[in-house]
Amino acid sequence: MASLRLFLCFFLFTASSVNIVCSRSLQKDHIALFIFGDSVYDPGNNNYIDTTARANYYPYGETFFKYPTGRFSDGRLTSDFIAEYANLPLIPPYLQPGNHEFTAGVNFASAGAGALSETNQGFVIDLKTQLSYFKKVAKQLRQELGDAEAMAFLSKAVYLINVGSNDYVLPFTTNSTVFQYFSKQQYVGMVIGNLTETIKEIHKEGGRKFGFRNFGSMGCIPLLKALVPGNTTGSCFEQANELAKLHNAAFTKALEEMEIKLVQFKYSMHHLNIYLSELTKNPRRFGFKEVNKACCGSGPYRGISSCGGRRGVTEYELCSDPTQYFYFDSSHVSEKANRQIAQLMWSGPPNITGPYNLKAFFQP
C-alpha cells in the first residue's frame, strides 16, 4: 500500500466510470469523515455480505447515480451530502474490495443494523462489528503515520453515527416477544447503553467530534402506517413514536454526561423531530407534494417493502417523480429529503443542530 504521507488516491465511482483523485501529501487542515450506522448511511456495505437487506437493484439509485449502488434511496444519502459540503469525495464502504486509503475516512454503516447485536443478527454488520472495523483502521493509521500523527488525524476527524431505529421497529414487524420481558424504558436503556459504549470506544481511539440526529416520529413512516388496522386517515403507529421520544430524551441526557466526562468531547445533534414536525404541517413549504405515501412500494401508503420486487413481493408501484415524495420507499427518504436534512445538519441554527453544527467541526 502506498504511504499515506507520500501518495494518496481516492476512488470515486460514478455511473459509467471510475475516477482516481490523487494527492501528494496530507494537508495540515485535512479533516476526514468516519461513518457508522444503518441504512440511513449505508453506501453499499451490504452488497458484500450474505443478506437480503440490499438496495443494489433498480429503482434504487435511479436519479443521481443512474445505477443502483446499494444506497436505500433514489440517489445520494445524507452522509454523501455532508462529505460534499466538507469538500471530501464520496466516502467508500469499508467492505468495498481493493486497497483502501483512509485519508478521506471510510463508511462502516450496514442496512438493517442495530445498536443491539441481536437485531437482524447474522444478516447485518452490527454496531459492535463496525467498531471492530474502525479499530483495525485506527491501527493501520498508527502503523502508517506513527502514533502521534495518527492521533492528531483521528482527533480532527468527524464521526457520523445513526443507529437504533431498527432496534425499535423490528419488534413490531416480527413476532417478537421482547416487550413481554422488558419495559419500553428498559429496552431503550439497552440500546442507549450499547450506543454510548461505542462512542466511548471511538473516543479512546482519538475521536472527539461526533454528529448525530435524533429520531422523528418513527411510527409515521409508511412501513409502520401500513401496520395500523384499517388506516385510511394516515394515522401513525404510536407505540413506535413512544419509543422514539424515550430514546431522544435518554440519548440527549447521555450525550450531556459524556460532554462533561470525556476529554474534548463535542457533539452536533440534528433535531430531526423538529424538521419532520414542520414538514408534516406544511409539505409544500419544503417542496414536497406527498409526505404520507412512499414513491416505491406496495400496499397501504406503499408501506410494504417491495420496492424493486426482490424481497418476497415481486409487484410494486413506482412514482414518476421522486422529488415530489419525502419517502422513496417504505422506510427510507428520497435524495431530495436527504439533501434538506444534510443542509440542516451542516449549517442549521442552534435549535436544530444542538451545541454545534457540522460545518463548525470541519473548520480548521
**Among 324, 335, 219, CA closest to 273:** 219
* 3-state DSSP helix/strand/coil % of the chain, to nearest 5: 40, 15, 45
Cell of 193: 447503553
Q: Which residues are catalytic?
A: 39, 329, 332
- CATH no. of 31-283+333-359: 3.40.50.1110
- Closest to 43 measured CA to CA, from 79, 3, 84: 79
Domain boundaries, the chain: 31-283+333-359
Q: Which helix (H) or strand (E) holds 172?
A: helix 165-173
Among residues 140, 40, 127, which one has the least CA distance to residue 81?
40
Element (H, E) at 152: helix 147-156
Q: Is 274 helix (H, G, I), strand (E, B) or coil?
A: helix
Per-residue pLDDT of the chain (364 residues; tens, 9 = 90+): 333 433 333 333 333 333 333 333 456 678 999 999 999 999 999 999 999 999 999 999 999 999 999 999 999 999 999 999 999 999 999 999 987 789 999 999 999 999 999 999 999 999 999 999 999 999 999 999 999 999 999 999 999 999 999 999 999 999 899 999 999 999 999 999 999 999 999 999 999 999 999 999 999 999 999 999 999 999 999 999 999 999 999 999 999 999 999 999 999 999 999 999 999 999 999 999 999 999 999 999 999 999 999 998 999 999 999 999 999 999 999 999 999 999 999 999 999 999 999 999 999 7
Which three three-digit cell numbers place residue 142? 498508527
Instruction: Give dist(CA 358, CA 303) in Å, integer.
Output: 32
Type of residue numbered 101 = E
Contact 297, 314 (CB under 8 A): no
